[in-house]
Amino acid sequence: MLEAKQTESLGSVCILGAGKTGLVVARYLCTHFDRVSKLTLYTGNPKSSVSPDLALLTQQGLTIIESDHLTEDYDICIASPGIPPYSPLYSSACKHCREVIGEPEFAWRCRPQKWVAITGTNGKTTTTTLIEHMIRADHKQACAVGNIGRACLGEVDHHLADTWFVAELSSFQLAETKLLHPHAAILLNITPDHIEWHGSMQAYAAAKERIFANLTTDDLAIISRDDLYCKAIYSRLVERGLSPVCVDTSQDPKTLQAAYCSDSMLYVRLNGTTTPLIKASEAALKGMHNIQNMLAASALALFIGVSVDAIRQVLQTFTTLEHRLEYVATIHGVSFVNDSKATNTDSVEKALTAFPCGSTIVLLGGHDKQTDLSSLVHQVVRKCRGAICFGEAGQRIYHELVSVQNAQASDGEGACDKCKSAVASAPLSFVKCVPHLRDAFDCAVTHAKPHTTVLLSPACSSFDEFHNMEERGTYFKNLVHELRATSDDEKLS
């Protein structure tokens, strides 16, 4: 294991990005200014506005340069995750800095003890939170950090050495890791996402795999084999001499170490010892995707010494997170559910399994990440009563859905086998396209009938209209609350 030193001199340091991550890194280094010889932050945009909090740090030694090109050389660069590697600012940093890393990597170097890490296209926030709750239920200290919304570096100085850092790591953050070495790491799944940032699906998968890069036989890798990318990564872990936990939601995979569901019972097998947990029906979280999350979290918790009783308690009581299939209200028999966290197609497909076929009006759209829509649109046609598309990606999603509907109208003539199958029993009765989320909500209210669910599950990120998915989800919930406050019997027909 490559050890990091918390007090070593960093030399000259530059920070890329003036957002939340840039501010956290700048604050930390201003507090530890004795470790740097020079501290500079590049905003990446000559016309960007600098927040008052960031501007205050110039009084503590920070220099702010409003440019997307570095003007001198540095020993180390800490890049914000929102800056893609092909951007002018990132490219300039690679030319002018001896090393470019991300904020979680730097936080680990500052405080390398007691880290576990979680990634995956979907399910990582739920799994991260489950693990944090399990550790705390066993009367131990834990802090969920990373992509979950709490910067790793912002917590380094505020927790005792015996606190577990439970780090949710995105592909952006993992792409900028080198020495990061958690004691246990989870990879839940890999499906297409963020291709526009990484440049290819292969690069995206490679970034996810980096979570295991520095694990040794003293550590634990936990991974599903539900997709081709994870299957290949599992094999490479075995080739390295590791004994990964195989997560399987349908059967015992018969591997040396496993977390699996068999006959509706959840089990974890570590070092040849199988521990029964609870029946799936006893879990507060519902859905096959959540069984995967619970199995992975339980395996990691057991490995780091959390008691079985604490794990069972959390599995039986932990409910859904905000913005993830979050029930908001029922108005005149119509239910409203906020799934703003569903920022990719696979997440939406999993969400649709939670509702009866033909009962859902789904709101789809947002920032277009140019992901393949074929699987999603066929699932929407099979399972939804209506679909309302909005935002930057709205037109593309709308046209894909309409093409499948047209195949239905023409009795499948000239359509591919997949389209014929989708439309054979399709409940989808209408598809609309509107400019914004507010318009989509109003359209859904117009078409909703009792026993229908209006589901915000966008399959896209939020940056065309909102700062983040949390803001989008909160906006949707506010629309629901406004409707409830003003609704009358004619609002929903």
Sequence ranges of the binding site for ATP: 120-126
Count of other CB atoms within 10 angstroms of residue 488? 7
Distance CA 148, CA 152 (A): 10
Mapping DSSP to helix (H, G, I), strand (E, B) and coil, where does residue 287 land? coil
From CA 39, how far away is CA 42, in angstroms rounded?
A: 10
158-184 exposure pattern, b = at least 16 Cβ within 10 A, e = fewer: ebeeebbbbbbbbbbbbbbbebbbbbb
SS3 24: helix
Q: Are strands 100-102 and 142-146 parallel, antiparallel or unpaired?
A: unpaired
Known binding site: residues?
A: 120-126
401 neighbors 380 (Cβ within 8 angstroms): yes
Spatial distance between the Cα atoms of 153 and 180, rounded to a whole number of angstroms? 13
**CA–CA dist 141, 322 (Å, integer):** 23
Rg (alpha carbons) of the chain, rounded to whole number: 24
Burial class (CB in 10 A: 0-12, 13-18, 19+), 316: middle
* CA dist 430 → 74, 355, 376 (Å): 57, 18, 16
* Distance of alpha carbon 278 from alpha carbon 134, whole angstroms: 14
- Provide the greatest CA pair distance for the chain: 73
Taking the C-alpha atoms of residue 362 and residue 380, their distance in angstroms, rounded to an integer, is: 8
Strand 265-270 relative to strand 273-279, pairing: antiparallel
- Other Cβ atoms less than 10 A from the Cβ of 117: the count is 30
Nearest to 373 by CA among 465, 458, 292: 458
- Cα–Cα distance, 26 to 40 (Å, whole number): 9
Contact 169, 211 (CB under 8 A): yes
Name 115's bridge partners: 165
Query: Which three-class secondary structure state does DSSP give residue 346?
Result: helix
Q: Which amino acid is at 389?
A: C
Provide the phi-psi class of 323: left if phi over 0, else alpha when psi is between -120 and 50, else beta: left
Residue 69: count other Cβ atoms within 10 Å of its Cβ.
15
